[in-house]
């Protein structure tokens, strides 16, 4: 378990997701939270979080890896100066990785999948809320 640093939308500014809690085993998520930058002044419950959970599939022929992302849209009330979550961006990525195939194949599949997720077309489509047409 370690902190994770990613780039903001501007492509230059780093955002750190602090390691909060390592996984205690199957179906127990490892948890990271953005505690620095623009999140520093927000209540803990309104900061961006990432969770990673792993477990066997039903017949135990594969491992399932699930990443969950929550990015609250925090707004400040002008009269009380309290923050609340007006809404949130939520995302999930799920992989089922068979245990009976070679590691080199798994490595290639995961690398390609994450590179596709990072592709500009996928980014712009997700930002627009529509699949490419």
Domain boundaries, the chain: 4-99, 101-133
pLDDT digits (tens, 9 = 90+) for 30-47: 999 999 877 777 888 889
pTM, two decimal places: 0.85
d(CA 66, CA 107): 17
CATH fold for the domain made of 4-99: MS2 Viral Coat Protein (3.30.380)
pLDDT at 9: 87
pLDDT at 59: 96
Distance from the first to the final alpha carbon of the chain: 40
- Residue 3's pLDDT band, with cuts at 50, 70 and 90, is very high
């Amino acid at each position: 378990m370690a902190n994770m640093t990613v780039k903001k939308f501007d492509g230059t500014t780093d955002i750190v997701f602090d390691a909060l809690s390592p996984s205690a085993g199957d179906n127990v998520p490892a948890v990271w939270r953005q505690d620095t930058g623009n999140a520093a002044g927000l209540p803990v419950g309104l900061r961006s979080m990432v969770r990673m959970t792993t477990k066997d599939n039903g017949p135990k022929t594969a491992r399932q890896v699930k990443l969950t992302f929550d990015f609250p849209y925090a707004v400040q009330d002008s009269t009380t100066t309290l923050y609340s979550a007006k809404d949130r961006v939520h995302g999930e990525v799920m992989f089922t990785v068979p245990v009976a195939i070679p590691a080199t194949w798994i490595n290639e599949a995961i690398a390609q999948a994450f590179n596709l997720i990072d592709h500009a077309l996928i980014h712009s489509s997700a930002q627009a809320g529509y699949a490419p047409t």
